[in-house]
Structure 1
């Protein structure tokens, strides 16, 4: 009966009639979720966070299983869902003001004092001047359904409608509920629960294998779906989970090789070499005339590249397929532009036609994961490549990535020089027998580039600038993920490479993520990823990570990546070893 939303049974005894059992529907209250957030926020222990989430999942009724995981993460929808709440801090404060009667300016001033909008909203709720006679306790379903409505409102008067929906929620919220509701709406939960903790909690709650939870999530990128399968079907159900058109697959990743010779040795003496394009990786899902394009971060970017979508409808001959490739911006001279140009296309939501003219895109496809109702990820790469070539009708803008299969170091090096001469980054080397391993960064795919790999790191802190930059952050503390502790640990500080405009933009972006202030230094919730270059990686006792970047320099904001996509301490250790090997070869 729990699956039908019933969480209690009421036994009624009537002296005039026989015993009756009356089911009483008790919807799960949002207060229970808010109390979980509070407990999670009070501990830094990964094991305790996992247990708290697992215990909560055990009591979630079946009809909420698909939405609870994302709410626990502080989201409403998966990253690949197009829907966005579209609510900023000012609109949220107006909604709280409308619900409480507390002046918006007073709430804004409170935020400046507390440094936490959620806490200031809770304070406003405590000052609420009156409560509706028809007030009802908030349920998780009501909160979720209302936020869905907020996300789906569009057109004239949409902001006013959003305001009313949110005010109605805050009108019935307890202070603790309002605190975490506000954080959810703005995407700043701060409970320290990320994908790894949620994955482990699902396994613990429903006594299933963590590797099966991981596999199912890598194939569907849908924790809601995975949670439901884990509870209702157990290990057997998780083992049967497969690719679904419309749900993005976590991309397989590559390591860097020291040289073409090293890459060939690692590949067993023969490999497929592809041009490594300096663009943005995308995953394309086709179902009839419907095309969905996901970024590397699995965000739906379909609407921002309509001309590519139209070409894909004609280029992919299969009725249903999932293919991967690299979107490259092309300059007037036909040479590739830096990948930031593609990101500009992804960010553009208005005047898209103008951007099509300014930044034309070409798509170089390199893999196929699904076609004609069959998942191909367990087939050897060489067979997937043949299938890809058979289903793509190239048109000059959509094409299959240029490649070379060889055992010869000399042939591969000639192809490498050709790629660099065309303005590309280098080459990819792939084992001919390699299966596709979603989310894995192994040695079956290797990158060969003329320089050390740049790092994608998370901004975990900053220091206020000085002089004319005193009102903005002047430098940023960089963190890499430590899988052993579940934390982002410091690997250095970057202050060069930023323009004044960059610093203003980053200050606005990061202010709402502040978790702690210590004099001139502030700490953030790890959300923002940037790409940095550096002179070298050094061993360092100064940082918990054990490593430090020498002369790091900002390259770009990677808003196509989330913190879960950033480089880890293990990755930095691998690059350090590679760096030392490359040094040895230069000396030799």
Structure 2
């Protein structure tokens, strides 16, 4: 398959905002995709090279990409950089450089999807001495044979800025349409494996029957089950049917652990592989989990003085660290509090009631200094539950989780079988879709960010407010650096941002509002933290905002 065909798909996707048309374009492309490319095409369509859980990274920034294009075309790096200032898009500037190409390969031949993909794999796997030079040469090699539009989309793939508006929902529906299978079975298979390439192959080769038989696989993370809110422990008990398991809600980073013999892989909530950054926890897991093969879930907590928890951002600092890890182990010790088990030695437990899963977890784990089982109270007594909740807060935790004893594990679902009880309104994780340039000394910085929640019905991110407070000058500088490559268009001081960056936002309350398409507005929103552990798809939905609004109104009525 020629890469020009994929570039043409990108172009058509970019030109339409209609979800139905995007789905049709992708479905038609999948139908004609050769079998040998079916594992990789879904990710290339999403503008990625690998699934999020694959630890390989391209490790290529704008400067290296410009050097590679300059090497391939003979156009100077300065000229390409100047062009970026005019176009606002490195992909477009690379297309222009390819049009001005001053040198051509004598053995030039049309690019294929396989050649581009194989080259990007080599770029990701290049390591050691002079690896940056090798990456540059690999990229220059394909840019030598790239047509301008091909070069634009190769660059966007490398930088992760595709801008075609294709997210997981469109890809799911396109797979269902292409291979005439049920969307809910595609969704189920994806929730269990987080691998669209694998799901597309099963859909094509085995149809609905094959998709219905997809099982959990060690090494492919399961989409986490999610929770809703309860106003207090009494409401939680009523929702749970009068009796529930209450667990401490730790202020940490949720992780999923896959153990296969002497191998352990740890995935973040965003399903990114964070294993290398926490070798101390990995060693403790190997000693504590008694099964040969298992998948367990827990909350990774940073431990401070007197054993009190530190904010989850400290855990994220551990995740980000790639060098001098031993130093960080000393500075930020971690503790893993396990609360669920989904797989033990070949047996899937997601259809097993929570009460039984908990017993299996207790039999699976030998607790240690670093590996604990989440503290739990099973009760039908509201006073006991209230005391447990107050004790959790006293110890510095966020609150408690209430779980139905008969609940099965539902990957990716946010239902009422798990409920959160916290003393304050739940913060929201929202996606930045716009920003404004500052004034005065902040004129060169982006601030006052327009934030949005995802609307699953329209497939769009809909605004719920502007966040301008809570940022330090250092924060604004970092966000400006991060968001400038994601600018889609600019009108005066306002810029439209590709929805890629998730931030945690606190607020005084949620109000009904005709100002935004969402129908809601946050009152006095304030920036709390960058949520690097969450993808835009993992951010809160507009349905979630509506649920919190209803919860807020019930809470007001009780007061």
TM-score, scaled to structure 1: 0.95
Q: For residues 453-494 of structure 1, give each alpha carbon's deviation from its aligned partner in whole angstroms, at most 9, with x where no partner exists.
A: 000000000011111111101210001111111110110000
For residues 268 and 101 of structure 2, the distance between their equivalents in structure 1, rounded to whole angstroms, comes to: 43
Q: 1:380 aligns with which of 330, 343, 353?
A: 353
For residues 360 and 130 of structure 1, the distance between their equivalents in structure 2, rounded to whole angstroms, comes to: 55
For residues 475 and 179 of structure 1, the distance between their equivalents in structure 2, rounded to whole angstroms, comes to: 30
Q: 1:257 aligns with which of 202, 218, 230?
A: 230
Report whether the alignment pairs 1:183 with 2:183: no
For residues 64 and 438 of structure 1, the distance between their equivalents in structure 2, rounded to whole angstroms, comes to: 28
For residues 436 and 307 of structure 1, the distance between their equivalents in structure 2, rounded to whole angstroms, comes to: 29
**Where in structure 2 are the equivalents of 1:101-112 lying within 5 Å?**
101-112=74-85
**Where in structure 2 are the equivalents of 1:279-294 lying within 5 Å?**
279-294=252-267
Q: For residues 291-336 of structure 1, give each alpha carbon's deviation from its aligned partner in whole angstroms, at most 9, with x where no partner exists.
A: 0000000000000000000000000000000000000000122100
SS for the counterpart of 1:572 is helix
Q: Which residue number corresponds to residue 160 of structure 1?
A: 133
Q: Which residue number corresponds to residue 114 of structure 1?
A: 87
Q: 2:401 aligns with which of 419, 428, 431?
A: 428
Q: 2:46 aligns with which of 41, 49, 73?
A: 73
Does the 8 Å CA contact 1:30/1:143 hold for their aligned counterparts? yes
SS for the counterpart of 1:333 is helix
**Where in structure 2 are the equivalents of 1:194-213 lying within 5 Å?**
194-213=167-186
The ranges of structure 1 where at least 4 consecutive aligned residues each deviate by more than 3 angstroms after the TM superposition are: none
For residues 98 and 327 of structure 1, the distance between their equivalents in structure 2, rounded to whole angstroms, comes to: 45
Q: Which residue number corresponds to residue 148 of structure 1?
A: 121
For residues 393 and 320 of structure 1, the distance between their equivalents in structure 2, rounded to whole angstroms, comes to: 15
CA-CA distance at 1:131 after TM superposition: 1.3
Report whether the alignment pairs 1:234 with 2:207: yes
Report whether the alignment pairs 1:486 with 2:459: yes
For residues 474 and 118 of structure 1, the distance between their equivalents in structure 2, rounded to whole angstroms, comes to: 25
Report whether the alignment pairs 1:54 with 2:27: yes
**Where in structure 2 are the equivalents of 1:320-339 lying within 5 Å?**
320-339=293-312
Q: For residues 233-256 of structure 1, give each alpha carbon's deviation from its aligned partner in whole angstroms, at most 9, with x where no partner exists.
A: 100110010100000000000001
Q: For residues 19-65 of structure 1, give each alpha carbon's deviation from its aligned partner in whole angstroms, at most 9, with x where no partner exists.
A: xxxxxxxxx00000000000000000000000000000000010000
Q: Which residue number corresponds to residue 511 of structure 1?
A: 484
Does the 8 Å CA contact 1:275/1:424 hold for their aligned counterparts? yes
**Where in structure 2 are the equivalents of 1:545-564 lying within 5 Å?**
545-564=518-537
Q: Which residue number corresponds to residue 272 of structure 2?
A: 299
Aligned length: 559
CA-CA distance at 1:358 after TM superposition: 0.3
Report whether the alignment pairs 1:137 with 2:110: yes
Report whether the alignment pairs 1:357 with 2:358: no
Unaligned runs of 5+ in 1: 1-27
Q: Which residue number corresponds to residue 287 of structure 2?
A: 314
SS for the counterpart of 1:362 is strand
Q: 1:535 aligns with which of 508, 520, 539?
A: 508
For residues 213 and 147 of structure 2, the distance between their equivalents in structure 1, rounded to whole angstroms, comes to: 42
CA-CA distance at 1:541 after TM superposition: 0.3
Q: CA RMSD in A?
A: 0.5
Q: 1:278 aligns with which of 248, 251, 276?
A: 251
Report whether the alignment pairs 1:575 with 2:548: yes
Does the 8 Å CA contact 1:466/1:474 hold for their aligned counterparts? no
Report whether the alignment pairs 1:495 with 2:474: no
For residues 369 and 403 of structure 2, the distance between their equivalents in structure 1, rounded to whole angstroms, comes to: 24
For residues 54 and 103 of structure 2, the distance between their equivalents in structure 1, rounded to whole angstroms, comes to: 37
Q: Which residue number corresponds to residue 245 of structure 1?
A: 218
CA-CA distance at 1:129 after TM superposition: 1.2
For residues 102 and 535 of structure 1, the distance between their equivalents in structure 2, rounded to whole angstroms, comes to: 53
For residues 375 and 506 of structure 2, the distance between their equivalents in structure 1, rounded to whole angstroms, comes to: 28
Does the 8 Å CA contact 1:376/1:384 hold for their aligned counterparts? yes
Q: For residues 211-230 of structure 1, give each alpha carbon's deviation from its aligned partner in whole angstroms, at most 9, with x where no partner exists.
A: 00000000000000000000
Report whether the alignment pairs 1:523 with 2:499: no
Q: 2:412 aligns with which of 439, 442, 447?
A: 439
For residues 289 and 577 of structure 1, the distance between their equivalents in structure 2, rounded to whole angstroms, comes to: 47
For residues 479 and 171 of structure 1, the distance between their equivalents in structure 2, rounded to whole angstroms, comes to: 40
For residues 151 and 425 of structure 1, the distance between their equivalents in structure 2, rounded to whole angstroms, comes to: 39
Q: Which residue number corresponds to residue 94 of structure 1?
A: 67
For residues 150 and 319 of structure 2, the distance between their equivalents in structure 1, rounded to whole angstroms, comes to: 35
CA-CA distance at 1:132 after TM superposition: 1.1
Unaligned runs of 5+ in 2: none
For residues 138 and 313 of structure 1, the distance between their equivalents in structure 2, rounded to whole angstroms, comes to: 46
* Higher Rg: 1
For residues 154 and 509 of structure 1, the distance between their equivalents in structure 2, rounded to whole angstroms, comes to: 25
For residues 474 and 405 of structure 1, the distance between their equivalents in structure 2, rounded to whole angstroms, comes to: 47
Q: Which residue number corresponds to residue 127 of structure 1?
A: 100
